[in-house]
Amino acid sequence: MADVPWWRRAVIYQVYVRSLADSDGDGIGDLPGVRAHLAYIADLGVDAVWLTPFYPSPQADAGYDVSDHRDVDPTFGTLADFDALVADAHRLGLRVIVDIVPNHTSSEHPWFRAALAGGPGSAARARYIFREGRDGGERPPNDWPSVFGGSAWERVPDGQWYLHLFAPEQPDLDWTNEEVRAEFDSILRFWLDRGVDGFRIDVAHGLAKDPGLPDLPAGFSVAGAAAAGHPHWDRDDVHAVFRRWRRITDSYRRDVAFVGEAWVETPVQLARYVRPDELHTAFNFEFLLAPWDGPSLRRAIDASIEALAAVGAPATWVLSNHDVVRHVTRYGGGEEGVRRARAAALLLLALPGGAYVYQGEELGLPQVTDLPDEVLQDPTFVRTGGAERGRDGCRVPLPWSGDEPPFGFGPPGSTPWLPQPAGWDRLTAERQASDPDSMLSLYRRALRLRRGVEDEPFEWMDADGADVGVLAFRRGPGFTCVVNVGDGMVDRPAAVGSAAPVLLASDPLADDGRIPGSTAVWYGVPPTARA
Ligand code: NOJ
């Protein structure tokens, strides 16, 4: 199956650059730090890395406020560091995906400065969404709230207002403006010419706005998924942008892939982003959002596979990222959360299509829920007046080694940008590497075994008599995955066959082969034996 494009079944490791590894001791992770850990990432057994934004940025939203799309912020390194990272990654067999942020720029971007200086009616202002206010200019042009809290409009000294769906430091671009479209064509080419293998598209569902900028209709919200008819999420016009971008990547005649971040309500809506002439893949948040129960997970899996197959796109699976509560904690936390996360990992990696691993999930890191107010940096915290604590708890720097902070994240004595819990000495990569029962060892084994089945067809199995809390499916004739999502012990499903050996289990099985609660098992003939 050598002709299957890599992105149809790739496992992609999300590198949240500021929290992976800090090479220079300023407390913030950087590209040389990532480079120094590429061997670890390759050794995990993944196919690619996705680097979150490392571009010049005032960091009002941790780099998703880009002030120069063609360079590296000095905090993270230099373009030469980036080139060296790509070269090393490629040598190690890892592809590199970079993050493109097209919905907005930083308010420090030269374009936005020019827009402020140019004044109302200027061509510079037309690249953004500036309008007069209501009630003689005193009130914002409409009632849209920002995703981060407060109004989505900010007034400038000459009286006009500009739209920012996120922080005020992230003014929205106007994608009906050809200058904007041409600029992003050129940005894509810049990184393609530097050798990247793909792009993650930030807020892919947000680029097109209802030109009338109407108030938010009753029943619509700004957070969460986009309902049909929303004035700024998931509008039809957005697809023309992605068709245009696909023509660019296709012109490179190498296997480049897009992954869209589109928070939409249903897999059917999501599938429209991955039609054959648009993006290659998109994150499947349906699965991430499903609670830990059999019917919900099965519904999410079925709906995703069905909707994506209808347009010929592969499914993708993701459990955590830098915007959501880490899944150990989402699944209940503590020992039970870890058990479920271990089982979820085997489910994630046995499903057909691509998968995402968010840095630290292979170490079983929980959400850090007790960060003190004064260290919180997510704009959500301030903009909601503290009502939402924000996303910092899933962004705490990784523990690599040693017994005390910074746990090898940075040089000894350095202070990570968010404090690491003292108890993370038990979760360091160094400690887990030598423990065959650790989360890290589980991911390593699973990622190796997965290679033998990644192109095999998916088919649900009858888990005979077992309750709806058991998910069981085949990948080809030689491999089955059984997940006991419930709490009680269940029998090994007869459909697995008595001859199939256990390849891997997320936690020990009973002596008679029964499967304890929150446990996943892979049965089958080891791939090498079948080859
Ligand atoms: C989605 C990114 O993942 C998130 O971190 C960011 O705050 C918003 N887009 C705005 O760019």
- Indicate the domain borders of the chain: 110-163, 454-524
Query: What digits encode the pLDDT tens for the residues 52-109?
Result: 999 999 999 999 999 999 999 999 999 999 999 999 999 999 999 999 999 999 999 9
**Distance between CA 301 and CA 438 in Å, rounded?**
27
Percent of the chain with pLDDT over 90: 92
**pLDDT interval class at 3 (50, 70, 90):** confident
Known active-site residue 261: yes
Q: What is 454-524's CATH number?
A: 2.60.40.1180
- CA-nearest residue for atom 11, ligand 1, is 64
**Distance between CA 286 and CA 495 in Å, rounded?**
28
Q: Is any atom of ligand 1 closer than 6 Å to the C-beta of 323?
A: yes
Query: What digits encode the pLDDT tens for the residues 301-326?
Result: 999 999 999 999 999 999 999 999 99
β partners of residue 23: none
Query: What digits encode the pLDDT tens for the residues 363-409?
Result: 999 999 999 999 999 999 999 999 999 999 999 999 999 999 999 99
Q: Is the peptide bond before 406 cis (omega within 30 degrees of 0)?
A: yes
Q: Residue 202: is its pLDDT beyond 50? A: yes
Q: Residue 465: is its pLDDT beyond 70? A: no
Of 200, 185, 158, the residue nearest 64 (C-alpha): 200
For the entire predicted model, the pTM comes to 0.97
Atom of ligand 1 nearest to the CA of 103: 11
Q: What is the chain's mean pLDDT, rounded?
A: 95
Confidence (pLDDT) at 531: 47
Query: What digits encode the pLDDT tens for the residues 142-161?
Result: 999 999 999 999 999 999 99
Mean pLDDT of 277-305: 96
**Distance between CA 237 and CA 210 in Å, rounded?**
9
Q: Residue 206: is its pLDDT beyond 50? A: yes
**pLDDT interval class at 528 (50, 70, 90):** low
Distance 462 CA to ligand 1 centre (A): 40
Please name the fold of domain 110-163.
Oligo-1,6-glucosidase; domain 2 (3.90.400)
Q: Is any atom of ligand 1 closer than 6 Å to the C-beta of 226?
A: no
Q: Is any atom of ligand 1 closer than 6 Å to the C-beta of 111?
A: no
Cβ within 8 Å of residue 129, ≥6 positions away:
162, 163, 171, 172, 173, 174, 209, 213
Q: Residue 464: is its pLDDT beyond 60? A: no
Mean pLDDT of 261-268: 93
- Residue bearing tokens 């791939």: 527
**pLDDT interval class at 467 (50, 70, 90):** low
Q: Is any atom of ligand 1 closer than 6 Å to the C-beta of 101?
A: yes
Known active-site residue 202: yes
Q: Is any atom of ligand 1 closer than 6 Å to the C-beta of 202?
A: yes
Q: How many angstroms separate the Cα of 36 from the Cα of each of 30, 31, 40, 83, 409?
A: 10, 9, 9, 14, 11
Q: Residue 30: is its pLDDT beyond 70? A: yes
Residue of 61, 172, 174, 261 marked active site: 261
